[in-house]
Chains A and B, each alone.
Chain A
Amino acid sequence: MTRSTDLIDLLINGQAYRLDVEPEMPLLWVLRDELGLTGTKYGCGIGQCGACTVAIDAVPVRSCSLPVAAAQGAVTTIEGLGSPDQPHPVQQAWISAQAAQCGYCQPGQIMSAACLLARNPDPSAADIDAAMTNLCRCGTYPRLRDAVRLAAATLRETT
């Protein structure tokens, strides 16, 4: 059996990949199980919770519901955003606000916030409410609001 014609090209965190996977496999499982990028989480599989949120060309996408063949563009996962030694300003704001509790939803929350701030550097409270739709069962929302505002302020200063 040959699948050479079905190879799928991806650009993830600046790196090009050519993979032999089913085109309908959701991007989430390609990231996690094929590439070992486990920062992106599975929470529901139906695009409801947002634990799997990644950025594609700075647009937030629920990767559990996106067939990998449709992942056209530059994919950024939490691993590509920043690192423990060099956190992205959004990640730094999350750390300063001490936002995470169990932490499982936070990669998705942070990707949603990074996408919001990339297109709207000074979001209103209503903008934040509208963009931050990811589910958190620990109830970190009050600190997430603080963290988004803090990140926005930092990004405006540095750009």
Chain B
Amino acid sequence: MNRLTRRRFLIGSMAIAGGVAFGVYQLRRPLPNPLDDIDQVRDGSAVTLNPYLIIDAEGVAIITPRAEMGQGIHTSLAALVAEELDLPWQTLRSLHGPTANAYFNAAMLEAAVPYPSWDRSWLAEGLRDATAVAGKLLGLQLTGGSTSTADAFIKLRKAGAAARQVLLQAAAEHWGLSLDGLRTEAGAVVDPDSGRRLPYPALAEAAAQIEPPTDPPLKPRQQWQLLGRALPRVDMVAKCTGTARFASDLRLPGMCYATVIANPYLHGTRAGFDASRARTRRGLVRIIDLGPTQDNAIAVVADNRWRASQAAAALEIDWRPAPDLTGDSVTMLDEIAASIDQLEPDAVPRDDGDAEQALRIARAEAKPVITAEYRAPFLAHTTLEPPSAVALRQPGRLKLWIGHQAPTLLRDLAAQQSGLDPDQVDVQVELLGGGFGRRAEVDFGLQAAAIAEAMPGIPINLTWSREEDIRHDLYRPAAVARCRGVIDQNGMPWVLDMDIASPSVMRSFAGRMGLPALGPDKLITEGAARQPYSIPHYRVAGYRPESPVALGNWRSVGASFNGFFHECFLDELAVAGGIDPLAMRLALTRDYPFARAVLQSVGELSDWETPLPRGDGRRRGRGLAMTHSFGSTVAQVVEVSVGTNPDQDGLRIERVYCVADVGLALDPGIIEAQMQSGILYGLSAAVMGEISFRDGRVEQSNFHDYGALRLAQCPEIRVRILESGDAPTGVGEPGTPPSKPALANAIYAATGQRLRDYPFNRYIRFA
């Protein structure tokens, strides 16, 4: 039985039979410490106390086994361990460490349960526990879903605290003293009575012989020295001096450089190719047909990356489109919209009151029913570092160096492709030049492995061209929402009914990865279905049409379009009811104090009650939106201005005010940066993001036609952080969903123009 089938069986038995009989043994058995296998531990030059710590002569290195893609996760994870261990921050080392199932992400699967994050009922919590067990069985080392700090918050502090206990005990035995009087500070155990100190490296050998406590007490929050503060990031100096290493920066003896050309047509074919002109190019090493398993892509290998791309450009390839395929995105969007009429709902995750009946009554009483259709386009991720990987095939072994969000998945699939066991594949995770969900995909890693398979013994440095990246992304799906609303005699929403259709990211992703995808796709309605509002008749349904386009997770996934749909339509209801959008939301959040606090705060921060300046010839407006996603509640106010002649003087996004309730703020500096980042990622898409298909091909190819905001267009952004909980919730993604609707609502306020699809530069000139 191959690995994929077995994995499907595991979660299948979990889901169907509860999997308890099989699961308990696996759950109770601790996974082996992956650091036992690293060279320094084997040769005795370093000691490991648990999967998160290596101690050598230089001191302590903390393993931070999540993808560092800009979100500062190496810093935040290192701080969790360092806090409990009383390590000095200035000299701290952190390493991504090996790829291993022991570094599985439990929170990722817990977040997938069909309950809102604020639901702490026994049923919701029970299901979260069960999925966490599944997480361990699957052993997925994943960075995604804004779950890294939630997953690590207890686990890494316990690791630090347990290590501290055995180090203390080792020191006590060394000095012949009782544990009680000893303290730890600045990376050493200290005996306050004598002033003697033993640095951790001097104690590591002895400490490793002591059984660590399984449930050591944690430092109370009041005693935190590192957590809750804006720390200098561990990766900052390297990233500002050009010494930070990304996968394509790797240089190995005898290394060759590769690029690929894949089929530009969706599901197209290749009739043939002529490589004769390419073969005469200087520096060419090899042209490899990667075959049907790699979509008939052709790899070109040379002694220099530019020479590889020159030879690739000289290839003459007869690509053919797929027959009988919807090959243009206008029709695709229409088909997605039509699925609302044609399909049964995939799920109805919100159904308060009786929206259907209430709409019938409203129509019978001739009350106005506000209706609107919203659309969102396909989008590409465009990480600034294009997909890149280094691969080396040796006898019985494959090594990959790659910036990746799901290295255990890549390891298993690469092993299968190369006919190896997973433990013969070594995936070394490098820094990611942007992730946003793109680097959870295995396509470029498997291509590098396939090229290396054809050229054993030679390290292959594969870097995609930007054109290849934009034409062969796993795209954020297009989506359509049909909305109906009725307001009551006080102008407040009485009915909100949304039908949302989008091809399933979950099915597309799971299908590629050999992962199970059972049941409805929660992602289709996330960001719209479980919002902290009370409306008497409130229904949100999801529809799951098929799509010829392969789809991926794009920063905030379903919430990236649903925030736009939900919050723009709510703004339409506020206008129809003649109610201030903030006042309306404050009333709608009466049952959700955490959301109400966020709204109140963003009202203060943005000075919402004070009218915007007039009389300088510019029209101004502000728009408000709030989305609860990835466990966090984020509200934003966008301010725009437009001159009297909008054709000459384009619309300016002046300011963004952002209030984020992140449960507990581990590092306010990083959280502020992530909110700014999420906002600009969302605003870039709202203003100018669109992937369109025509005749089966992606029309865009590089940053000239798939752009993003530049510094000159960047608004002033003010961020305020709230903490309503006792554990961290998502940070990397929740800033994105409210940004687009807040901008659309601001444009409406300034101009009276209601935008129901994007990119907005179709309709408006931006400065």
Contact = CB atoms under 8 A, between A and B. Distances in A.
Interface in A15-68: 22, 25-26, 28-29, 32-34, 36, 38-46, 48-49, 51
B681 A140 contact: no
B654 interface: no
A29 B306 contact: yes
B239 interface: yes
A143 B675 CA distance: 12
Nearest to B239: A103
Given A29-B306, A46-B703, A48-B702, A104 B72 contact: no
A30 B432 CA distance: 23
A137 B434 contact: yes
Which of A33, A48, A104, A128 gathers the greatest number of chain B CB atoms within 10 Å? A104
Given A79-B242, A98-B232, A98-B673, A130 B712 contact: yes
Nearest to A141: B714
A104 B676 contact: no
B681 A84 contact: no
Contacts of B711: 128-129, 132-134, 136, 141, 144-145
A45 to B, nearest CB: 6
Q: Is the interface of A mostly helix, strand, loop or mixed?
A: loop
B196 interface: no
B681 A100 contact: no
Given A49-B703, A105-B384, A137 B708 contact: yes
Nearest to B75: A98
A51 B384 CA distance: 8
B241 interface: yes
Interface string B673-715: 1001111110010000000000000000011100111111010
B69 interface: yes
A106 B306 contact: no
A143 B673 contact: yes
Given A22-B282, A98-B673, A104-B246, A49 B240 contact: no
B703 A94 contact: no
Interface in B462-495: 463, 465-466
Given A22-B282, A46-B702, A46-B703, A141 B680 contact: yes
Contact of B710 (A26, A46, A103, A133): A133
Interface string B326-354: 00000000000000000000000000000
Contact of B704 (A33, A42, A48): A48
Contacts of B703: 43-44, 46, 48-49, 135
A84 B669 contact: no
Given A105-B384, A137-B383, A141-B680, A42 B463 contact: yes
Given A41-B433, A128-B711, A137-B384, A87 B677 contact: no
Contact of B712 (A77, A82, A133): A133
A41 to B, nearest CB: 7
Given A33-B304, A132-B711, A140-B673, A103 B251 contact: no
B249 A135 contact: no
A83 B237 CA distance: 9
Contacts of A78: 241-242
B179 interface: no
B681 A137 contact: yes
Contact of B70 (A25, A94, A103): A103
B673 A29 contact: no
A111 B395 CA distance: 43
Contact of A95 (B236, B382, B707): B236
Nearest to A48: B703
Contacts of A143: 673, 676
B543 to A, nearest CB: 31
Given A102-B383, A103-B239, A136-B384, 17 more contacts: A22-B282, A33-B257, A42-B248, A45-B309, A46-B704, A48-B702, A79-B241, A82-B241, A102-B384, A102-B432, A103-B431, A104-B384, A106-B240, A132-B712, A135-B710, A142-B714, A143-B673
Interface of A: 22, 25-26, 28-29, 32-34, 36, 38-46, 48-49, 51, 77-79, 81-84, 87, 91, 94-95, 98-107, 110, 128-130, 132-145
12 contacts: A22-B282, A33-B304, A42-B248, A43-B466, A98-B230, A100-B235, A104-B246, A105-B384, A132-B711, A139-B678, A139-B680, A142-B714
